Chains A and B, each alone.
Chain A
């Protein structure tokens, strides 16, 4: 099949504003959406910029807006996007983030928020000889949250992020959940002080866009609700 691939292009050195460009791309229904972009870059227009690394849904580099929804380009198949020859697939950078070029966004703000929630183990007790142990049942509480690959699809799908650029966003707060509910961690107080703030948990209105966008099917809203309850009982 041949598809009409539309890409939102923007080169800050040349363009005043982003604009759409169309390309005819031969495709197989079992191709990934990323394959369409790579065809454009390798065979039609080498100036197209995009991020990708593993291309297997592990690194989280190629999160972007595909046909209006935030997805990982490598993890969605053509047959799940369109079903007829000549159909259109639209690619745009993740919304609510500054665009560096074409599909590449500036992620610095996203990772600043990530660092704010102290996404590391806080435990001042001397480490045991081998390792800090955790039972399977204790790990189960945070198991799903550990699957986050920090692709940013959720945070940039959240209307609270669109409205308030300073809002911590689901990705960072999911990390806060992941460490706060980790039985080996002692940093609950300082982490909750960060998320229990004007730009934190309370701007989550349980819209569920994050759940829809997550390529790892993490039930983010559920874990943020658990974090809200923990914040409420410890405040």
Chain B
């Protein structure tokens, strides 16, 4: 097999798109299970805050109005992962590192996958080379901004 000049190649991006796609399947399932369905199994530590602190609402929960709205829409048995549970998970000195690492990887994977796909669509529909380049720069800049904002949110949450 001959090796080629990599500078013009798009192969790595395509390959990464496949890899991130595979990762996303497992990460999305994990994310939904942990974040939206099985709050108790996913609650890593109850030791971060005392029971009193939790009872005294040190961390904000949902407002009564929000809970009422969820009940009205999904029925009285509907459960919402409390904000406190998520924050507790991210406040744990040990397991939070794991979850923060997971969330940051999830963020990078999702942003790369989504924005590579978006750029494919844009290159299909935008004919003008200059406009195409502009759209590419703008979209990847937006991805960078979202990456910074997302990483900041994940890192400071709970710590």
Binding site for B on A (CB under 8 A): 160, 163-164, 188-189, 192-193, 196-198, 201-203, 205, 228, 230-235
Contacts and interface: CB of A to CB of B under 8 A. Distances in A.
B115 to A, nearest CB: 15
A201 B120 CA distance: 12
Chain B interface helix/strand/loop/mixed? helix
Contact of A193 (B1, B4, B13, B14): B4
Interface in B1-28: 1-6, 8-15
Given A188-B2, A228-B14, A233-B1, A197 B8 contact: yes
A23 B15 CA distance: 51
A164 B14 CA distance: 18
Interface in B113-157: 120, 123-125
Contacts of B125: 163
A196 B4 contact: yes
A196 B8 CA distance: 8
A205 B123 CA distance: 13
Contact of B123 (A198, A233, A235): A198
B146 to A, nearest CB: 23
Given A203-B124, A205-B120, A232 B12 contact: yes
A73 to B, nearest CB: 30
Contact of A234 (B1, B10, B120, B123): B1
Shortest beta-carbon contacts, A-B, top 5: A189-B2, A235-B11, A235-B9, A163-B124, A232-B11
B10 A202 contact: yes
B123 A164 contact: yes
Contacts of A233: 1
Nearest to A193: B4
Chain A interface helix/strand/loop/mixed? helix
Interface residues of B, number: 18
Contacts of A164: 123-124
A160 B6 CA distance: 24
A193 B1 CA distance: 13
A235 B6 contact: yes
Contacts, number: 54
B124 A235 contact: no
Nearest to A230: B1
B14 A189 contact: no
Nearest to B10: A202
A214 to B, nearest CB: 23
Contact of B8 (A160, A193, A228, A230): A193
- Taking each of B1, B3, B11, which has the highest tally of chain A beta carbons within 10 Å of its own beta carbon? B11
B4 A198 contact: no
A163 B10 CA distance: 19
A74 B148 CA distance: 59
B46 to A, nearest CB: 47
Interface string B88-128: 00000000000000000000000000000000100111000
B48 to A, nearest CB: 45
A230 B2 CA distance: 10
Contacts of A160: 124
B10 A189 contact: no
Given A228-B14, A234-B2, 6 more contacts: A188-B1, A193-B5, A196-B9, A196-B10, A202-B11, A203-B123
A196 B14 CA distance: 10
A163 B122 CA distance: 10
Contacts of B14: 201-202, 228, 232
A198 B10 contact: yes
Nearest to B116: A202
Given A196-B11, A198-B10, A189 B4 contact: yes
